[in-house]
Structure formats: structure tokens, C-alpha cells
Amino acid sequence: METLIDWSRAQFALTAMYHFLFVPLTLGLSFIVAFMESLYVKTGDEKYKTMTKFWMTLFGINFAIGVATGLIMEFEFGTNWAAYSWIVGDIFGAPLAIEGILAFFLEATFFAVMFFGWDRVSKRFHLLSTWLVAIGSNLSALWILVANGWMQYPVGMSFNLDTARNEMVNFWDVILSPVAVSKFLHTVSGGYITSSLFVLGVSAWFLLKGKELWMAKKSVIIASIFGLLASLFVIATGDEAAYQVAGKQPMKLAAMEGLYHGEEGAGIVMVGALNPNKKADNDKEPYLFEVTAPKMLSLLGYHDMNAFVPGIKELIYGDEARGIESAAAKIERGKKAKEALVLYKKAKAQKDEVAAAEALKTFRMYEKELGYGYLQKPEDLIPPVGLVFYSFHLMVGLGVWFLALFAMALLFGMKDSLEKRRVFLKAALWSIPLGYLASEAGWIVAEVGRQPWAIEGLLPVGVAVSNVDTGMVQATFWLFFVLFTALLIAEVRIMLAQISLKAKGESHV
């Protein structure tokens, strides 16, 4: 099964990471296009219309190809994660259904008006359609991230022993979960940064080539304002995300900082390298080197500069003095919950209501640790620390660079000195892929950081997988790899062709 689990995880990770190469641009570029068209409607200047149609074309290319990867990812829940879909489908499926029925249909309906209605509807109705596409795109993200937020912090449900399924009991608890709200705000604002970098970088290319100068300069100002505001918002939502992770997923926080031993007034590692030989059960130094900001992890995680932040060692082996329970104790209670579940099903089959009631009572006592009962040893709860640590610090470091980049872009744009700043323009151009890198790093932190859980504290990945042939999963992994790579290459080539045509004055958008 280990091979099957690993390949199933790899296939889903491949699909999710390729899909999220398209999502951020959809989230942010839709709003940037709506801003540009608003300027056209307000001023009546045809230059703004031409600019809007150019960026709208790039948005449309990205949107169409992104849909294909998203559909495949949703089908994988049924093919590779059938146990997951059965056990939590009642809850997880609800937000995804709402996303399809409400948000996706909203953006898909007005997408046609936005692209083909320029000469068929009034200016104001066309502008409304563009804004509704932007709103619909972000509403899609809302419901998907609500579902993902529930995976990080499962609430609003009850386990039905008769069906062995988790069932929703409070829809609003799921929707308004603080983790879901935090995840949505942080993710979409990150998408706005990526989109702003895209517009800024492409505009920088036009300026370097001396082409479409009016459009490029206006686009730089719009993108830099949007990106700067998004960057400031990311800082605020990142603070809230750290607070939620500290309270709900302390192991993830420890992995993000490579924190093996808990500390009062714990600092954040600004720059550092992990010791690859460090384990939770040895006394080796956790870092080869480090530069730390004192007390900042305690402040971000608990809003108290002197708060104790538990490390991996405390979370695995416990700390009785601080009231931190060991993972072994949770695993023991989880095994009792499993045994009670088996006894309940057996008693029901034999129609022994007295035994069933007793088993149910026992199960409810240990229900919260049921997922732990499927783990073999406490160390299984430790995620890949190195991958999470470096991904987190890469994301944060790039975020600082983006903030500075947008500030410089706005300053140079307002001074009308962009054409003289060739070094800056080249930096802006080469920052386009860095936005995608930061987005992917963020998802690695979110998803790898909660391993081994498919649903945090509730369902391990090994229990969630489908019982299918490993060879089939391997074959589809490589099939999807080829397909997604081809789609990505196609998108890049089509976009480059459109940008090149625009530079030549031959674009027909």
C-alpha cells in the first residue's frame, strides 16, 4: 500500500500544482481588467479600451486552460481517494457543489458577454459583465478554499457510526471557520500579487522594446497599485494565518520554523539552514546556521512575545509540566475508538442493542482521536520538515521582494522615469516566474505541513486512498504530466504570440 499511497499523493500533487499555475492569474487579472475597463467607461478614451482588450485576451487564454486542469483534479477525488470521498464527502462535497452551481456558472455565463459582447451590449452592461466574471472567479476560489480550510480544521460535523461517514451538522461552522476565512483571504491576495507581477513584467518588456509605451506605462501604474495593496494585505492575512496555524496545527508551525525544542519567546529564523541529521529523538543542533529575529514567532503565533511555542519534540513525546499530551497517548485512545467502532458494527449486525449502546458510549469518549488509531508510531506525525521550512522561508523572502518591487514601480511610474530604469525593468520581467514560485511554495507549506493527515487529526492519508492498481496510478501520473506540460507550453506560446503581435501592432484583440 505504501507505493500506492505515494503514487496517489504524487498524482494529486502534480495536478494541484499545475492547476495553481493558472489560478492566481485568473483571480487577479480579472480584477485588473475590470479596473481598466472602468477607466475606459469613465473617460471614453479608446486607448483604455484597447488596453483592456489586450489584457483580457491573455486572461481568456489562461482561464480556458486552467479549467481543464481543475476538472481533472476534482475527478481524482473519486478515482484515487474513494475512501476519503466516502468518509467526508457529505461535508467536502457541499462547498464544491456550490462552487460549480453558483460561482462557476456566474463567471462562465458572463465570460461570453465579456469577450464577445463589445459591440452587442451597452458599455455599462459590458462593464458589469467583466466585474461579474472577476467576482465569480473569486467566489469559485472562496468555496474551494472553504473546503480546503475544513481539511485543515474540521468543524461542523458528526461521525455516523452506522454509515462510517462524517456528516455535516452545521453549515455555517464550516463556511465561517476562522481557518477557512484566513486561508481564502491569504490565498486570493497572493493571487493578486502574482497577477500584478505578470502585468508589471509584461509591461516592462514592452518598455524595454520601446513598444506600446502609453499602454505599458498605464499598466505599470495600475499593476503596481494593485500589487502594493495586495502585498500589504498579504502581510495582514499572513499574521492571521500564523495565529490560526499556531492554535490549530502546532506541528505545522514547528515544521515551518524547524523548531524541534519548544521555547518561551521563540524567535523566527530569518535566514538559516537545517541540519539534515537532526531528528526529534536526538540532541543534534537543529540548524547548521541561523539568523533569528528574537521573540517574533511567539508574537506571530500567539500574539504574546513571551508565549511558549511547542516544538516537534514536545508535540511527539509530550510535556507533562506544560500540559502537552504525547502522541502515543492519542494513538492509544484512537485505537480504542477503532475497537469501539468494530464492536458497534458487530453488535448492530447481531441486533444486540445493549452491546451497541455500550460500544457507542465508548466510541464517543475517544471519537476525537479516531484518526490517530490508524498511525503506527508517534513519529509518523512529523511532516517533511526540510521541505516545509525552506518553502515557508522562500515564500516570505519573495513576498518582501515583491513589496519593494511594487513600491519602486509606482514611484518610477508616477515620476514618468520608467524608460530610464532598464535594470529595474529587467528585474520586473524576471520576477514574473517568482510570483508563481511563491504561490506554489505557499501551497507546499499548507499541504505538506499537515501530513500525514488528509483531514487534520481525523483521517490519515493512508486510510483515504482508493484500493486501485498501483500501475494504473503510475500510468495516469505520467499521462497527466505530459498533458499538463503540453497545456502549459501551449499557454505560454499562445500568450507570447499575442504579446509579440501587440508589439508589432498586429494584434486583433
pLDDT of residue 449: 93
User: How many whole angstroms from its chain centre is CA 9?
Assistant: 16
- What does the alpha-carbon distance between residue 276 and residue 259 come to, in Å, rounded to a whole number? 13
Question: Would the pLDDT of 508 be above 80?
Answer: no
Give me 411's grid cell: 514611484
User: DSSP letters of 482-508?
Assistant: HHHHHHHHHHHHHHHHHHHHHHHT---
CB 189 within 8 A of CB 161: no
Q: State percent of the chain over pLDDT 90.
A: 74
The model's pLDDT over 409-449, given as tens digits with 9 standing for 90+, comes to 999 999 988 888 999 999 999 999 999 999 999 999 999 99
User: How many whole angstroms from its chain centre is CA 392?
Assistant: 13
Closest residue by Cα to residue 148 from 193, 188, 103:
188
Give me 32's grid cell: 485588473
Q: What is the DSSP letter of 350?
A: T
Q: State percent of the chain over pLDDT 70.
A: 99
The model's pLDDT over 360-369, given as tens digits with 9 standing for 90+, comes to 999 999 999 9
pTM of the model: 0.92
- Whether cis (ω within 30° of 0) applies to the bond prior to 384 is no
Give the ranges where 210-272 is alpha helix by DSSP (H): 213-248, 250-257
pLDDT of residue 507: 57
pLDDT of residue 484: 92
pLDDT of residue 252: 95
Burial label, 361 (beta-carbon count in 10 A; 0-12, 13-18, 19+): exposed
pLDDT of residue 261: 92
Question: Would the pLDDT of 72 be above 90?
Answer: no
CB 189 within 8 A of CB 219: no
CB 188 within 8 A of CB 234: no
Helix, strand, coil percentages for the chain (3-state, nearest 5)? 75, 5, 20
H-run or E-run covering 384:
none
Q: What is the mean pLDDT of residues 391-418?
A: 94
Question: Would the pLDDT of 2 be above 80?
Answer: no
- Of the two residues 231 and 503, the one the predictor is more confident about is 231
Which residues have CB under 8 Å from 374's CB, separation 6+?
Answer: 334, 338, 460, 462, 463
Identify the three-state secondary structure at position 324. Answer: strand
Which residues have CB under 8 Å from 51's CB, separation 6+?
Answer: 36, 40, 215, 218, 219
pLDDT bin (cut points 50, 70, 90) of residue 506 is low
Which residues have CB under 8 Å from 509's CB, separation 6+?
Answer: 50, 53, 54, 56, 57, 498, 502
CB 277 within 8 A of CB 258: no
Give the lowest-confidence range in 71-75, 294-298, 338-342, 505-509. 505-509
Give me 292's grid cell: 533569528
Give me 64's grid cell: 480556458
